[in-house]
Amino acid sequence: PDHRQIRNSADNSPLQIFVKAKKKINDIFGEIEDYVKDSVHYMQELQKEPHILDKDAVTKTEEYVKKVHGIRDVLARDHMKVAFFGRTSNGKSTVINAMLRDKILPSGIGHTTNCFLQVEGSPNDEAYLVLEGTTDHCAVESVGQLAHALCKEKLSESQLVKVYWPKNRCLLLRDDVVFVDSPGVDVTPNLDEWIDLHCLDADVFVLVANAESTLMVTEKNFFHKVSTRLSKPNIFILNNRWDASANEPEFLEQVRRQHQERAIDFLVKELKVCTPKEAEERIFFISAKEALLARIAEQGNTSPSMSLAEGFQNRYFEFQDFERKFEECISKSAVKTKFEQHSQRGKFITSELREALDKIYNDAQKLRDDKLLQRKELHNKVNYTEQQLMVITQEMKQKIHNIVEDVEQRVSKALNE
Ligand code: GDP
């Protein structure tokens, strides 16, 4: 039953919008590729006949084969990318781990993320990491190993380490979501470099804030910079560590309202990236730590090992609600930004090809008409000559006949005389 449940939730997942669109557009490009190859083959055959095709048309069509192939390569690598930002220790790694349903990224004291970490599905179902600028696969079996491998290397904060994790362990990875964890926005003066290197192709940004304090200037600054570079970035705000609020239930509603209002103002009035109504769907109060524990317990079919604070269920529901809204947002956004360009180029190539084939057809038609005309002229000429010949023959016959008659008459006259 567990498998069935996972399968069902996979098929209902909003991520399927992207997955299905990717399959469909890939199939279409497969057809375009066949169509282009057929045309090239046809043109090469036709080129053996003189006068029908000019060489440029063939070379141009041959280039389309390469272009379509290139697009299919890019398409195969297209994914949905989400990047997490926030101050150190707000819980970025924990949020990612909770979403991945496993302790994949090292988190907590002593494991401050000091470089960019990207987690994506492994093509061969093995776990390994690759440091930027190298191609070496470094196998990792556990978080401990991963943390160790990261500490061992001297990494600069803008550097990227790619973690490849088995797709079969997580639906989000299977469905082409790529996660990027960043060093705290409070530790770097290089925000512009970060944005250029890691943010321009992100479909969704998640600001992991600390619900125990207000949004910091450093956190806000970062998103101000992002929104000058990207038009209307999709930003979610997670007020993490909301479990701490359980200690002070009397202020719960008031604190929540205050955070909510400020976060809405930030998205709507300061960044101007969404409407107040949209902003309501972008702000969540969660506890990543609890969500991760719940997920790990679910995997092992046990109940969470630590005692959970009051209100856990609500926070966990809100976390799941975030995941659903996030999935909807990222898959729609990625379809639009990634596939719109491909479909424009696909349309362009097919219409160019159609024009080339139309030209061949018209040229061939014209050639045929010319030949027909030539033949007709020739035919007329032959006819004329034949007629002339007939007339001449007729005349000759008559003349000969006359001569013969004349001779006969003369001869008989001579005889009579
Ligand atoms: P990062 O630096 O932003 O990646 O933060 P981490 O994910 O490493 O988290 C820092 C510490 O905060 C870890 O010890 C986590 O266990 C803890 N933590 C993360 N999320 C929560 C939460 O929702 N509630 C509580 N109480 N602790 C959390």
Q: How far is CA 266 from CA 92, 189, 237, in A?
A: 20, 22, 10
Q: pLDDT-derived band of residue 158, with 50, 70 and 90 as boundaries? A: confident
Q: pLDDT-derived band of residue 251, with 50, 70 and 90 as boundaries? A: confident
Q: pTM of the full predicted structure?
A: 0.82
Q: Percent of the chain scored above 90 by pLDDT?
A: 51
Mean pLDDT calculated for residue range 353-358: 89
Tokens of 345: 């180029």
The angle, 0 to 180 degrees and rounded to 10, between the axes of the packed helices 15-46 and 55-77 is 160
- pLDDT for 24 equals 93
- pLDDT for 88 equals 87
Question: For 168-182, how does the pLDDT look when each residue is reduced to its tens digit (9 = 90+)?
Answer: 888 899 999 999 998
Is residue 388 packed enough to be buried (19+ CB in 10 Å), middle (13-18) or exposed (0-12)?
exposed
106 lines ligand 1 (CB under 6 A): no
92 lines ligand 1 (CB under 6 A): yes
Q: Atom 6, ligand 1: which residue's CA is nearest?
A: 91
- pLDDT for 1 equals 43
Classified as helix, coil or strand, 70 is helix
Q: Which of 27-41, 143-157, 263-277, 399-413 has the lowest mean pLDDT?
A: 143-157
Query: Which residue among 97, 289, 318 has the greatest number of ligand 1 atoms within 8 angstroms of its CB, and so is best to mutate?
Result: 289
Tokens of 318: 């809100």
Q: Atom 14, ligand 1: which residue's CA is nearest?
A: 108
Q: DSSP class of residue 135?
A: -
Supply the mean pLDDT for the chain.
Answer: 87
- pLDDT for 321 equals 97
- pLDDT for 109 equals 59
- pLDDT for 304 equals 64
Burial call 290-325: b when 16+ CB within 10 Å, e when fewer:
bbbbbbbeeeeeeebeeebeebbeebbebbeebbee
Check whether 6 has a pLDDT greater than 70: no
- pLDDT for 266 equals 96
Question: For 105-139, how does the pLDDT look when each residue is reduced to its tens digit (9 = 90+)?
Answer: 887 655 566 788 899 999 888 888 888 888 888 88
Check whether 3 has a pLDDT greater than 60: no
243 lines ligand 1 (CB under 6 A): yes
ipTM exceeds 0.90? yes
